[in-house]
Amino acid sequence: MIFFGRIFVNEKNEIFLSEKSGEIFFVNINNRISLEKNQNLRNGDIVEISGEINEKKVLKILKIKLLHRPKNFEKVYNQNKSWKKFLLDRNLKNLVKKRAKMKFLTHKFFDKKGFLETEVPIMILSPATEWSLNYFETEINFQNGKKQKMFLSTSPELQHKKLLVAGFDKIYSLTKSFRNGEPTDERHNFEFSILEFYRSFADYMDVCKDTIDLLKFLNFQINERDFLEFNGKKFDFKKIKIFEIEKEFEKKFGKKLELVAENLENFKSFAKSLNLEILEEDLISDIFYKIFIEFFENEINKSEEIVIVKNYPYFEASLARKSTKNNFYAERFEIFVGGLEIANGFSELNDAKEQEERFVEEGEIRKNLKKQITPLDKDFFDALEVGMPPSGGVAIGFDRICQLVLNQKDINEVLFFPTKDLF
Domains of the chain: 2-77 (2.40.50.430), 90-239+305-422 (3.30.930.10)
Backbone CA torsion sign across 8, 14, 18, 19: positive
- The percent of the chain in helix, strand and coil, each rounded to the nearest 5, is 35, 30, 35
Closest CA to 282 of 265, 260, 259: 265
Between CA 282 and CA 23 the distance in angstroms is: 56
Q: Please provide the size of the chain in residues.
A: 423
Which regions of the chain are under pLDDT 50? 31-38
Phi, psi of 28 (to 5 degrees): -120, 110
Give the per-residue pLDDT at 85: 81
Q: Find the angle CA(89)-CA(92)-CA(94) to the nearest 5 degrees.
A: 110
Q: Which amino acid is at 225?
A: R
Give the per-residue pLDDT at 57: 81
Cβ-proximal residues to 414 (8 Å cutoff; 6+ apart), any chain: 95, 96, 99, 399, 402, 403, 406, 408
Q: Is the pTM higher than 0.75?
A: yes
Give the per-residue pLDDT at 69: 87
Q: Which amino acid is at 318?
A: S
Give the per-residue pLDDT at 8: 83
Residues in a beta bridge with 322? 330
